[in-house]
Amino acid sequence: MVFKAFVADYLHPHKDAYAASLLEGIDLPVTRYLMVDESRTRLPFRFALTSYLTGEIATTFADHPRYMDIFRQIGTVARRLHEIRLPAFGDIPPGGGAAQHATNLVYMRGQVDGSFARFLEFGGDPVMTMKLREMVERDFDVVVPQSGPAVFAHSDLQPHNILAQERDGELMLSGVIDYGNMRAESAAMDLAKAIFCSEHDAPGSGPAILEGYGPLNHPEPARALTFYTLLHRLTMWSWLRKFGALPSADTPSDIIEALRATAAAA
């Protein structure tokens, strides 16, 4: 067996290790955590020892004529991960300080309120915020109660967290990495995040992901994906503002333009 050690001093590798432990027995090319040490006694930093996954970051193959095949395989991986049911909604692992919620209704009410509060905090336009909030509230009772149980949501399943290899001219997904954002959420919410993040890097990849995923178990799948995508855009924009990637609320970005277009359509 080949091992890989990595330094994770800026992370908390115990979360990644816990997420990986939930994948035991799943036939997917995922990282296996063999040792995690956050004590800084053996080494002056936190570190983990993991299994080794072959391949390169999928974006390496962005110019490959079969690049969209990777996104179909991402959809298939998402479907497999969503077969893993979890007992409650919220952060992982349980007991780590963040609350967990018995129902998606309670969980998503907090997510909605928090997303809009942060959007306004970081300079989101109040008029646009009001229009978007009206859209979310209009669809909340249609989308959220029908979104299904809490499942393993990678919450960042996109080409930067996928390893791939070329074999006889074909592109094959060879690894799923980085569980730092993993949460217990609905399949619809996680699938929307995968499409949202992938489309940012590879416009047009959404249909390929949906093809690989297959039918979403929701009575109104398109409406559900639109609902959750709006919330992901709000959250991502606020995160980029918080960490300075968007220096001001007026800094152009595809995310804010999409939000403006959504508000205008409303």
Same domain, 6 and 88: no
Give the predicted TM-score (pTM) of the model: 0.92
Q: Within this chain, do residues 158 and 258 fall inside the same structural domain, yes or no? A: yes
**pLDDT of the residue at 144:** 98
Together in a domain, 189 and 129: yes
Q: Residue for token digits 């991402």?
A: 74
Q: Are residues 71 and 173 in the same domain?
A: yes
Radius of gyration in angstroms for the set of CA atoms belonging to the chain, rounded to a whole number: 19
- 195 Cα distance to chain centroid: 9
6, 230, 12: which is closest to 124 by C-alpha? 230
Mean pLDDT of 258-262: 97
Do 92 and 23 lie in a common domain?
Answer: no
Same domain, 29 and 136: no
Residue ranges making up the domain that contains 86 = 55-265
The total of structural domains in the chain comes to 2
Nearest to 165 by CA among 31, 54, 27, 50: 54
- Check whether residue 97 and residue 142 sit in a common domain: yes
Specify whether 87 is located in the same domain as 165. yes
Identify whether residues 45 and 60 lie together within a single domain: no
Residue 1 pLDDT: 45
Residues 95 and 206 in one domain: yes
Helix (H) / strand (E) containing 219: none
Q: What is the CATH number of the domain that holds 113?
A: 3.90.1200.10
- List pLDDT tens digits, range 189-245: 999 999 999 999 999 999 999 999 999 999 999 999 999 999 999 999 999 999 999
CA angle 178, 14, 107 (to 5 degrees): 75
Helix axes 221-242, 104-121, angle to 10 degrees: 40
What are 153's two structure tokens? 């949501």
CA 60 to centroid of chain Cα atoms: 20
pLDDT in tens, 183-197: 999 999 999 999 999
- Looking at the fold, whether 3 and 90 belong to one and the same domain comes out as no
What's the whole-number mean pLDDT along residues 87-91? 94
